[in-house]
Amino acid sequence: MHPRHVAVRFVGPDGVVVQKPWRTAADELRLMECLMVRGFSLRRGRRLAPGWWWSATTGRLVGYGSAAMRDAVMMLDQDPQVTGLVSRPVEFVWEEGGRTVTHVPDLAVALVDGGIRLVDCPGSSGPSVRLASRVR
């Protein structure tokens, strides 16, 4: 996978879905303003249903889809280095082996130094085989 072949899909604050090449979008994309590009599914048998955390950092709700993600959101919301927190703001799209592959990081975190980090929140058993293969 080469960066020029990766696109990003996101939902702007106006609710419009946009897809652009990553190299074009990287400088202009405002992740902290994006809406969730993909929601969380409710699965029978899971001990925790998807939910929302009211963030003191941002003054708005941040979605979570697992216990690991909820815990990460709670901890990041208390970290003084964190200035912003959004759930699933972007989807990466690329071609691999003749098929379209996508990956949606769980969180985008804005930091005091102006940087933004994309975060995946695997459970206690570690990343799934699917996730591990996508984030080499």
pLDDT band at 28 (very low <50, low <70, confident <90, very high): confident
> What mean pLDDT, rounded, does the chain reach?
87
CA dihedral 20, 21, 24, 28 (to 10 degrees): 50
Which of the two residues, 97 and 103, has the higher pLDDT score? Answer: 103
Q: Phi first, then psi: what are they for 25, rounded to 5°?
A: -80, -25
What predicted TM-score, i.e. pTM, was given to this entire model? Answer: 0.82
Total of domains in the chain: 1
Least confident range of 72-76, 91-95, 96-100, 126-130: 126-130
Positive or negative, the Cα torsion across 89, 83, 52, 66? Answer: positive
Tell me which residue range forms the domain holding 56.
3-37+46-134
Which of the two residues, 97 and 73, has the higher pLDDT score? Answer: 73
H/E element, 74: helix 67-78
pLDDT surpassing 80 at residue 114: yes
